[in-house]
Amino acid sequence: MVQTSQATLIGYWLTVILAMGLLIVPWSTPVLYLAPNWVLLILIYWALAIPETAGVGKAWFVGLLVDVLTGQLLGQNAFAYAASIYLSIKQHKRIRHNPIIQQSLFVCLILLVAQIIVFWIERINGQIMPMLSWLTVLTGGIVWPVILLLMRKIRIFSY
């Protein structure tokens, strides 16, 4: 077990809160559909970087907060986030050493899993998500390299 420092933990929560803010920034409608799921991307980053600390439990709690933030059914994002973070932690040793492009593909896959879970729950609840909302999966993958490099910079800075 690696002991994670207090600073990293603070960084974890700060970036998550920042991502939550980004999630609810009001864009115009076409951009809205393109906006990636910032919170989940940040969570995946932390799950790959410090899997011992950024566990499934924390991801579940963050998901619950996002549910309240966006006024959706309690537990739907929590479920999706917990499942996708579980997958990322399972695979983190393999993924960490891949080149960035392959990581992007993997992230796309995880975002897709999360989106499918949300889609199912919404469907059972009687909501039908428009086809356009699947685009966030792609944009998430495209944005991943930026997030990765940016977060690395921040982490080096914080040490």
Judged by the rule CB under 8 A, the positions of this chain that interact with other proteins are: 17, 20-21, 24-27, 29, 32-33, 35, 56-57, 60, 63-65, 68-76, 78-79, 82-83, 121, 125-130, 133
> Smallest distance, Å, CB 70 to other proteins?
4
- When computed from its CA atoms, the radius of gyration of the chain, rounded to whole angstroms, is 15
Cβ of residue 90: shortest distance to other proteins, in angstroms?
Answer: 14
Q: Which is nearer to other proteins, 41 or 148 (CB)?
A: 41
**Cβ contacts of residue 4 below 8 Å, gap of 6+?**
50, 52, 53
CB of 151 to other proteins, least distance (A): 20
Contact status, residue 38 vs residue 22, Cβ threshold 8 Å: yes
CB nearer other proteins, residue 35 or residue 108:
35
Q: Which parts of the chain are beta strand (E)?
A: none
Please report, to the nearest 10 degrees, the dihedral formed by the alpha carbons of residues 117, 123, 124, 125 taken in order: 110
